[in-house]
């Protein structure tokens, strides 16, 4: 895509195929057409690009973090402080973000670091698609090109003429000569990257979301004062939600400090809620993760996800009243992470590892059930573990087996129970067979083993033995 670079037209964006041909942003269109005759060039639409970026930021705001800001022309800042545990960790959150964007046709690179400048540099100039900064982040940043400091192009070219190619070269150079010749921008970018100077940014705020705000004449910072203001914000937000017949499913509380730094808290609920006391209690439970700094001058509470409230008539019969566990589930989910709170539900499948699935804590009851006549172990291993065994083929249980370095003699056994592969899942399971045995060793432990294959046809399995579960 082309746009104006002063009086000349230049490339502003190039796809992967164009980059492989040697085209890159900043190259004049005349030179590009001279290199590749018949080059197809589209006119850039900056307004549409900005609108699309804002739409993507709103999506990230609703799904990943309460603090998201634009980094034009093609980037986003996401303050993920305290949000990673909701997805099972920082790496899991970034992998989920990149994977969802890829499914939408958007090629993305993501990085997480202690400062916006470091994350920006690793995402755009690092060697991996997804990067989590570790303790050697200074060494990793030092080998990146000086363009990762977000310096103007003419300044980067001037520094390269002097022999500066990597960030480490600038970091090891005295600041005074650099500032005298090139101004204070180089030192500021280095300080922002390594955390010596804050770099605030303004979060996006979609107008369609329900939002309330409190501005203070004097900065506040005491925990009890912040907790009291949280209660007032929750009351105001719930009043607006009740007026619109909505309930909050996700709340974002932003703390705007006097030093222009914005911190956020995100909590979620398993069902739409209009209870200000419950929501305020959940928010106050995460208050310890917030550093008020020199004081908070503004607090904003947003319902980033709200759903219609379905009112149900309560029964007057005490025998029919069910215990209300929604508040308990909300507390545990926000403390431990929603991915760690679930129920196990039966699934209609012959293979044991596919016969269970994780469902939400308040998901409707499943209609499927496990066969009552087929005994199953109380503990099923995450994956069958291979064991060395000696057995009389084709349908006898093992006489002994070695599991995790311990030899076990089999004194009792029951089986086999034959389980066939599910041919509709994969071609490799079209002929697969498992023969399961319940065995008891000399120490009284009862275990669940199976042999891969029917003992006659090699196409049905490898004939190896595996341990799949343990009985009580």
- Pairing between β-strand 296-308 and β-strand 262-273 as defined by DSSP bridges: unpaired
Tokens (6 digits) for 171: 């970091």
pLDDT attached to residue 401: 95
8 Å CB contact between 120 and 167: no
The closest alpha carbon to 436, from 356, 375, 349, 348, belongs to 375
Question: 2-44: which CATH topology?
Answer: MutS, DNA mismatch repair protein, domain I (3.40.1170)
Each residue's pLDDT expressed in tens, for the chain with a length of 472 residues: 576 666 678 887 777 778 788 887 778 888 888 888 878 788 888 888 888 998 999 889 888 888 898 988 889 999 887 777 778 788 888 999 999 999 988 889 999 988 889 999 999 888 888 888 776 677 788 889 999 999 988 898 899 999 999 999 998 999 898 999 999 999 999 999 988 888 888 888 887 889 999 999 999 999 999 999 999 999 999 999 999 999 999 999 999 999 888 888 888 888 899 999 999 999 999 898 899 989 999 999 999 888 898 766 665 555 444 457 888 888 888 887 777 788 888 888 888 888 888 888 877 777 767 767 778 888 889 889 999 999 877 678 999 999 999 999 999 999 889 999 888 888 888 889 999 999 999 999 999 999 998 878 888 888 899 999 999 7
pLDDT attached to residue 321: 47
8 Å CB contact between 235 and 211: no
What dihedral angle (degrees, nearest 10) is formed by the CA atoms of 324, 326, 327, 330? 160
8 Å CB contact between 230 and 287: yes
Q: How many other C-beta atoms can be found within 10 angstroms of the C-beta atom of residue 329? A: 17
Give the Cα separation of 314 and 421 in Å (integer): 48
Would you say the pTM of this structure is higher than 0.95?
Answer: no
Give the Cα separation of 17 and 24 in Å (integer): 11
Contacting residues for 83 by C-beta, under 8 A, at least 6 apart: 64, 65, 66, 93, 266
Contacting residues for 441 by C-beta, under 8 A, at least 6 apart: 408, 409, 410, 411, 447
Which residues face 436 on adjacent strands? 417, 450
Domain ranges of the chain: 2-44, 48-193, 210-308, 379-470
8 Å CB contact between 310 and 326: no
Class of the CATH-defined domain 210-308: alpha beta
pLDDT attached to residue 209: 86
């Amino acid at each position: 895509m082309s746009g104006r670079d002063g009086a000349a037209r230049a490339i502003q964006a190039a796809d992967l195929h164009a980059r492989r041909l040697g085209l890159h942003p900043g190259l004049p269109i005349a030179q590009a057409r001279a290199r590749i005759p018949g080059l197809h060039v589209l006119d850039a639409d900056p307004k549409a690009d900005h609108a699309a970026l804002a739409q993507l930021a709103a999506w990230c705001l609703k799904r990943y973090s309460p603090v998201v800001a634009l980094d034009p022309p093609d980037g986003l800042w996401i303050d993920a402080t305290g949000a990673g545990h909701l997805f099972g960790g920082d790496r899991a959150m970034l992998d989920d973000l990149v994977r969802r964007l890829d499914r939408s046709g958007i090629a993305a690179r993501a990085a997480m670091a202690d400062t916006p400048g470091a994350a920006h540099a690793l995402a755009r100039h690092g060697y991996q698609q997804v990067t989590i900064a570790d303790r050697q982040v200074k060494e990793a940043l030092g080998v990146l090109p000086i363009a990762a400091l977000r310096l103007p192009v003419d300044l980067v070219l001037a520094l390269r003429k002097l022999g500066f190619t990597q960030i480490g070269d600038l970091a090891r150079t005295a600041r005074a000569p650099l500032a005298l010749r090139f101004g204070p921008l180089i030192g500021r970018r280095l300080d922002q990257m390594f955390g010596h100077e804050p770099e605030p940014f303004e979060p996006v705020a979609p107008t369609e979301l329900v939002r309330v705000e409190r501005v203070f004449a004097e900065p506040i910072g005491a925990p009890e004062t912040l907790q009291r203001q949280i209660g007032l914000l929750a009351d105001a937000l719930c009043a607006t939600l009740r007026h619109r017949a909505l309930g909050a499913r996700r709340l974002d509380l932003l703390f705007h400090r006097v030093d222009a730094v914005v911190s956020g808290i995100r909590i979620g609920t398993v069902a739409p809620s209009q209870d200000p006391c419950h929501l305020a209690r959940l928010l106050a439970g995460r208050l310890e993760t917030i550093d008020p700094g020199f004081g908070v001058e503004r607090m904003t509470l947003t319902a980033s996800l709200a759903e219609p409230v379905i009112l149900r008539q309560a029964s007057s019969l005490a025998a029919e009243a069910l215990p209300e566990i929604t508040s308990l589930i909300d507390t545990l989910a926000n403390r431990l992470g929603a991915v760690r709170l679930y129920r196990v539900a039966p699934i209609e499948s012959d293979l044991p590892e596919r016969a269970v699935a994780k469902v939400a804590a308040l998901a409707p009851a499943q209609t499927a059930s496990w066969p009552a006549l087929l005994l199953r172990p109380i503990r099923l291993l995450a994956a069958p573990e291979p064991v060395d065994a000696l057995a009389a083929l084709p349908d006898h249980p093992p006489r002994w087996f070695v599991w995790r370095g311990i030899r076990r003699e089999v004194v009792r056994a029951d089986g086999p129970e034959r389980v066939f592969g599910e041919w509709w899942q994969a071609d490799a399971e079209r002929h697969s067979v498992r023969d399961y045995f319940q065995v008891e060793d000399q120490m009284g432990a009862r275990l669940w083993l199976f042999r891969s294959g029917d003992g006659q046809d090699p196409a049905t399995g490898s004939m190896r033995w595996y341990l799949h579960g343990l009985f009580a």
